[in-house]
Amino acid sequence: MLYRLIMRLDGVAVIESGVRLRFASLIHLGHNVYLDQSVYLHACPQGIAIGDNSLVMHGSVLHVYNFRDLPHAFIHIGHDSLIGELNVLRGQGGIRLGDRVYTSPLVQILAVNHVYAGPDRPFVEQRITAQGVVIEDDVWLGAGAVITDGVTIGEGAVVAVGAVVTRDVPPHSVVGGIPARVLHDIRPGDAGGRPAEPGKRVYF
């Protein structure tokens, strides 16, 4: 595959059939990265970087569409992370994921937003904001969660299924709802923040 001659590779990477790469010279894959079928990566000058042992699953889109010359447009993913099936990451304001971040299917991380304050003009003429999104180490995003521009999600946090996160999430907390709010904290001794139900087996 010609892509392998253009990208920056830190060792072996597995790239399945149907993967599409735009501006491949600006994509950096760590050792043992896996790109599943139908993944689409669209880079830009600050690029897309995926750390060692991370996986991007079927149909996900990592898109840094920077036609406005934004100063910090990129997507950087740490090591041992998982981007679930059919995720959309829009990195105009910069997306930085830490290590061991897991996103479930259909998650959206959107580091861009439209301004729509003026009723006398269409929103497409009112510019955009692009503050960026930071997701720290050991975060789990439930299926269908939406993370909006300007948000930082603290280390060890859990975002519930279908949550829409519009403000920062404290470390080691569980958030859910629309808009998302803190449901409870994950304390030492908790079984992952949610004790197993009686009779339910726990696997390691």
Residue by residue, DSSP assigns 107-148 as -EEE--EE----TTS-GGGS-EE---EEE-TT-EE-TT-EE-
- Any idea what the CATH number is for the domain that residue 97 is in? 2.160.10.10
In a domain, 165, yes or no: yes
Q: How many domains are there within the chain? A: 1
- Dihedral (CA of 146, 152, 154, 156) sign: positive
Query: How large a percentage of the chain has pLDDT more than 70?
Result: 89
The string of pLDDT tens digits covering residues 31-83 is 999 999 999 999 987 899 999 999 999 999 999 976 667 778 899 999 999 99
Whether residue 126 contacts residue 118, with contact meaning beta carbons closer than 8 Å, is answered with yes
What is the band of 197 on the pLDDT scale with cuts at 50, 70, 90? low
| Alpha-carbon span 176 to 184, nearest angstrom | 10
In a domain, 78, yes or no: yes
In a domain, 55, yes or no: yes
Mean pLDDT lowest for which of 102-106, 111-115, 144-148, 163-167?
111-115
Structure confidence at residue 138 (pLDDT)? 98
The string of pLDDT tens digits covering residues 114-125 is 777 777 777 777
| Range ranked top by mean pLDDT from 55-69, 89-103, 127-141, 182-196 | 89-103
What is the band of 189 on the pLDDT scale with cuts at 50, 70, 90? low
Catalytic residue among 42, 72, 114, 172: 114
In a domain, 69, yes or no: yes
The string of pLDDT tens digits covering residues 10-31 is 989 999 999 999 999 999 999 9
In a domain, 197, yes or no: no
76 has catalytic annotation = no
Q: Determine if the pTM surpasses 0.75.
A: yes
Mean of all residue pLDDT scores within the chain:
90
In a domain, 201, yes or no: no
pLDDT at 150 over 70: yes
pLDDT at 126 over 80: no
In a domain, 92, yes or no: yes
The residue segments making up the domain with residue 38 are 3-185
In a domain, 84, yes or no: yes
CA dihedral 136, 149, 66, 11 (to 10 degrees): 20
Structure confidence at residue 159 (pLDDT)? 98
